[in-house]
Structure 1
């Protein structure tokens, strides 16, 4: 008998232990992630009394795949436009948390005597809250539609981006073993250029590709294509000197801007769940319970640091962004834990061999404890706000109210501000793309051309091709915004503005000359004057070429068309105008979405009968039924399964509405459970014996269909078989009758009992 490879047997142990333990944790109403970690402890080398994993190293391969899919799924939910929409509140809050917790974690590590590198990684681990745990807690507690939940989700989006950047910076510091300002700055610039290039090129190409092959994309092919794109970007990222996790995250954020994003997210979810489970189990395998007991005091200290630090920095950051005190405190208490990114950063430190082994299980233990307390901390936020509101002076309250209302006032930006921001965005993006294209060309394409065509001819051909490739970008750098409304307004308003405006154009032209000089210097061995002349001629041709102008405009339109495609699609399905939603927020009201589930007691009833307005103080403003949208539905409108109800109300009213419909659903289903079991359809046969009341009657006259709600599907008569007999078929003695219907009624007929 052949032996099963250890990889398969170990995978069996992991999944069986994960399945059993997570079922227990679901029953205990605890987060599944905690179950995975406990399953890892049981399946790891710490317990030899039960079958455990024999080759831990091979499982790390699966865990690495798990990290890739976790980051890919995170990228799918990320979206660059979503980051831009979360605004100053989320950005200010996240920056405050990350800087504050990294500093606090670093100081805590040094005070515990763990050294510089351990403390640096510890700060990174303690600075990220758990997206998975918070989403799950809000769902379980029915808080996802609360106003503060939206703020928390925004902070988590920004934190996810910081976490990915932090992984790259920590890797750089770990390799260099010391902090050098110039080296760190070059790493940040390199990372920024890489992200910009991947995003711009990805948005330009990938949505167009998916659109062209959309008719061939069933669930199977879309899954394979998505995973292929993800792993392809992983290879590109690692070749560029970054982590595989960064590549997966980048591809996820690119696909998040496509119209197929939701389909991809649903298809990837089972794959992510499988490999994510293996990753979290592998986290548990590295935990030694004896080591945890040995370090119980540091674990307790770090747990307090996380909970107190996250609450303090998050509340302060969100308050600083202009949110009311109650929202700030509720958000701070919700973020009081660390999660999956702590494990990933800890695993990164181990793989780079720059952190001690004791740090990994300590951080996991802190994460487990803080995760366990998350629901209780969220519940404590309301009493904590009442205490703070009671003890702070009235003058502070009035100041915070004025600060909050003042921060939310929309201020008109100056023309200079708008113009400079637009130019920085345009010049930065196109310069990054141009630099990466030049680098790739000079490293890979030009040597191939010059090998095939030797001498000066090959160099000139390579130069002409790269200049043709980057010329649309060069024109955009030099000419964009030169005829914009802001530019013309500044030019006409004041003659003193004209000097700076011309200087901006000249600086961009000089930048483009420098970009052209890069391939010229590399490919042609000429004097500086001749090379500058060539660059100037190229720039002049780029500026005055009408064909190039048209090409540049078409490329930009194509890019923005791809960028906003998903947004346009969502706006078509959007129940309410976003401006109206923002108007509601100013009055402490907001919109929430609820779905009518199958077997819901509300199903089939009119809005007048349900009377949600009187019972819960909420209003149903829209019903979405498939592709149909019913705005301001009338009282006679009935609800059907899978209808999406867009409800407007305050936080308290929406929470009351959620609990009300959940309680009605639970009571209705528990009451009807017994009835559901009696409606089973069955198929039976019976023989018409002598004296039966059916003899001589037709199927219609027998009342089998009308009275018993059963269907005659066949009659066996002698050696013949009548399939689907017509209604006027006469029953005879000895017929074998096949009937279908509700089980109880079929049994009555087959036993000859009276209906």
Structure 2
């Protein structure tokens, strides 16, 4: 008597067998595995008759949805909002210019081809997304991960990931909105997304790391995996309940867990599940490929491939250049990101699940992705020759203008005190407003009905209002008074022209606090009672401000400890590490700024005792301490907490110095300092420096810097002694004040 085997098991056996065989071949050919999975899906699809076909595609579709969830969850684990905060303006500007430019161009191409508005919108979104997997693989194979432009690419990809999530929310809103209400719905969706992003991240960081810490002794690998997946799926359910996509929920929970001590371990534990269900997802993508449809749309495929390679490369390069990157770095960045990948498929899946895009769009995206995946390594290799060709053909005046723009753009990136005040005040106001609104909503929807069932109407309102106010009090204090006596605020108050701005910011924050109190009270009482009670409440807040402040500090300290737990733990493990001293190569180096964390082992030590040149091969160009800059500090200078140290080195050397200053992984990205730069001066026959030693040349005084290398007759001399005599034809590499160096060169 035979046993019936469920079709799901048969289909899974077929999917994994096909995926395994094809990806082994792709591994041998050194091609991306994603393409192998897609090809495997095509081979077992109804469109290919020579092999068995999947029997129940509905079950596979459900499994592929789980695959999308785990893909986004894993992406969140690799994302980290702290990384986003450190990528700087260059990556943000690059990503925005690229996505807006390519997205608009894609929409126009779709419209010209006669496609529907929704097809064109989703096409623009799909073309705007680059492939992190393909880019990383290409950089590994070409050995370019230490190049400066790679940092810009990775930073841009991080911003892209977040914009992709926002784009999915907006596309869903547009797809489900009527034409008349569309603009209002989009604006409402953006505000709603901002509100829940802030709320979920703050609540998640406050509660989840604490929960994981207190249950650490009970957590083996199995339990940690189960708890992590439970948190992921609970966030998916919550996101769907409040009107967002499951992908957003999975991504947010991944980014929250990425900040915990167990972040790397969770990522490692989840990887097999991500690989399994991700395989099913990409195989399901391949199953949708219809050769006859692709032949029918061969012209759009060719057009969109060319758009991806050239137009996307152009807009990305332009974005990088507008952000202040040199022309060479901009071209390398643009040509590295000229492909589409995983997120494009996820956006297409969203469109199909909503039923708003045509079926032909999916196989077109797959075809464009496959072609641009193969071209990516060649584009990266060709970026330097193309830059050299452009540089040769470029008129001298244009080259000078571009170089001047780059310098001015970098210099303009320095943030002034009044801009910092507005930025800090706006950020804090948004955060505290989200917390206060969530407390009020939770009180009115859940606490009030609960208390009303147990007390009479008036008493229940008073009780609910008092409990709500108690929960709001620490955040009201933080909104109004936090940073009230900060160094930044006092510095601005010492300047007459900024006093009005400081008082205006304080007045706005006070008005916001009053608004929230009145808004809360009006839920329970009449307008007159609410207005009167507000005055009394603020009087009590002033009287008990010290107790409220202490309570808030406890909350804030808990949040900061949880947020930085991963780095604090790593610091203890890395404190006694000894690292080899690499060779300093200033020709491959650049300036970067690293902030010294409060728990760094270098705090209190002198530069001469730290021996960073010997340990890591870097030179210290500047120490930024509050509003004070110490250019080319002497060996007796001490290091203090939160110093921002500008150092010069290659990417590898900068990674080494990060390990000495802070634990591995604490500083994900280093940010170029526009005020200090590394540049080369070619010594001509009429140079005043010929025949003089470095000490007597006055270079150090003229540029407020130091000489870190000299090239003579194609031989490089690193960190030359001060008695080195400069000769005609020498190329002198100096680090110092950007403006003074350019004046010296000019």
Smaller-chain TM-score bracket: 0.7 to 0.9
Q: State whether structure 2 residue 538 is matched by structure 1 residue 557.
A: no
Could you tell me which residue of structure 1 aligns to residue 672 of structure 2?
none
Unaligned runs of 5+ in 2: 593-616, 618-648, 663-677, 679-746
Secondary structure of the 1:337 match is coil
The structure-2 alpha-carbon separation of the partners of 1:622 and 1:130, relative to structure 1 and needing over 3 Å to count, comes to closer
Cα contact 1:299–1:366 (8 A) shared by 2: yes
In the other structure, the counterpart of 1:43 is 44
1:294-373 equivalences under 5 Å are 294-373=296-375
Q: CA deviation at 1:550?
A: 0.7
**Partners of 1:31 and 1:413 in 2: CA distance:** 42
Please name the residue that 1:395 is paired with: 397
Closer, same or farther: CA 158–245 of 1 in aligned 2, 3 Å: same
Q: 1:114 & 1:575 partners in 2: Cα distance?
A: 60
2:418 equivalent in structure 1: 416
Distance in 2 separating the partners of 1:62 and 1:619: 41
Q: Report the equivalent of 2:119.
A: 118
In the TM superposition, what are the counterparts of 1:338-737 in structure 2 within 5 Å? 338-409=340-411, 413-494=415-496, 497-522=498-523, 524=524, 526-545=525-544, 546-570=546-570, 588-589=588-589
CA contact (8 A) 1:235 1:247 kept: yes
Q: Retained in 1: the 8 A contact 2:589–2:650?
A: no
Task: Summarize the Cα distance change of 1:323–1:569 in structure 2 as closer, same or farther, 3 Å threshold.
Answer: farther
Corresponding residue of 2:208 = 206
Comparing 243-252 with 567-576, greater Cα deviation is found at 567-576
SS in 2 for 1:258: coil
The residue aligned with 1:171 is: 172
Within-5 A mapping of 1:213-292: 213-292=215-294
The two structures have a TM-score, normalised by structure 1, of 0.75
Deviation at 1:566, TM superposition (A): 2.3
Q: In the aligned structure 1, how far is the partner of 2:105 from the partner of 2:257?
A: 36
Distance between the aligned counterparts of 1:82 and 1:340, measured in 2? Answer: 21
What's the C-alpha RMSD, in Å, of the aligned pairs?
A: 2.9
8 Å contact from structure 2 (residues 77, 254) kept in 1: yes
Name the residue aligned to 1:190.
192
In 2, distance between residues paired with 1:470 and 1:620?
47
Q: CA deviation at 1:619?
A: 13
User: Could you report, residue by residue, the CA deviation over 1:91-129 in whole angstroms, capped at 9, with x for unpaired residues?
Assistant: 111001000011000000000000211101111111010
Conservation of the 8 A alpha-carbon contact between 1:193 and 1:436: no
- Determine the structure 2 residue equivalent to 1:23: 24
1:257–1:563 CA contact under 8 A, matched in 2: yes
What is the CA–CA distance in structure 2 between the aligned matches of 1:630 and 1:550, rounded to whole Å? 31
Change (3 A) 1:156 1:251: same
Q: What is the CA distance between 1:498 and its match in structure 2?
A: 4.4
Shift of the alpha carbon at 1:176? 0.1
Residue 96 of structure 1 is matched in structure 2 by 97
Q: Distance in 1 between matches of 2:255 and 2:587?
A: 34
Whether the 8 Å CA contact 1:93–1:314 is kept in 2: the answer is yes
Cα 1:629/1:78, change in 2 over 3 Å: closer
Q: Distance in 2 between matches of 1:254 and 1:280?
A: 26
Change in Cα spacing, 1:492 to 1:398, as seen in structure 2 (3 Å) is closer
Cα pair 1:40 1:284 within 8 Å, conserved: yes
User: SS state of the match for residue 109, structure 1?
Assistant: helix
C-alpha distance in 2 between matches for 1:589 and 1:619: 7
Give the Cα separation in 1 of the matches to 2:492 and 2:415: 13
How big is the shift at 1:23?
A: 0.9
Q: Quote how far apart the aligned CAs of 1:412 are.
A: 5.5
> Residue 588 of structure 2: SS of its match in structure 1?
coil
User: In the alignment, is the contact (CA less than 8 A) between 1:512 and 1:539 conserved in 2?
Assistant: no
Q: For residue 571 of structure 1, report the CA deviation from its aligned partner.
A: 5.0
Give the drift of 1:563.
1.8
Distance in 2 (CA, whole Å) between partners of 1:328 and 1:91 is 14
Which residue is 1:33 aligned to? 34
| Helix, strand or coil at the partner of 1:77 | helix
Shift of 1:572: 5.4
Distance, in Å, in 1 between the alignment partners of 2:543 and 2:289 is 66
CA shift in 2, pair 1:414/1:623, >3 Å:
closer
Contact preservation (8 Å) 1:419, 1:481? no
- The residue aligned with 1:59 is 60
2:737 maps to none
What is the CA–CA distance in structure 1 between the aligned matches of 2:561 and 2:384, rounded to whole Å? Answer: 45
Unaligned residue ranges in structure 1 (runs of 5+): 593-612, 632-649, 651-755
Q: Residue in 2 aligned with 1:667? A: none
TM-score by length of 2: 0.76
Counterpart contact for 2:425–2:505, Cα < 8 Å:
no
Query: Equivalent residue for 1:604?
Result: none
Distance in 1, matches of 2:490 and 2:453, equals 50
Partner of residue 149, structure 2: 148
Q: Is the 8 A contact 1:622 1:630 kept in 2?
A: no
Mean alpha-carbon deviation: is it higher for 117-126 or for 552-561? Answer: 552-561
Aligned equivalent of 1:640: none
Identify the residue that residue 78 of structure 1 maps to in structure 2: 79
Which structure: larger Rg? 1
Q: Distance in 1 between matches of 2:289 and 2:260?
A: 40
The alpha-carbon deviation at position 15 of structure 1 amounts to 0.8
Q: What do residues 643-684 of structure 1 show as CA deviations (whole Å, max 9, x unaligned)?
A: xxxxxxx9xxxxxxxxxxxxxxxxxxxxxxxxxxxxxxxxxx
Q: Output the CA distance in 2 between the equivalents of 1:623 and 1:91.
A: 22
Partner secondary structure for residue 70 of structure 2: helix
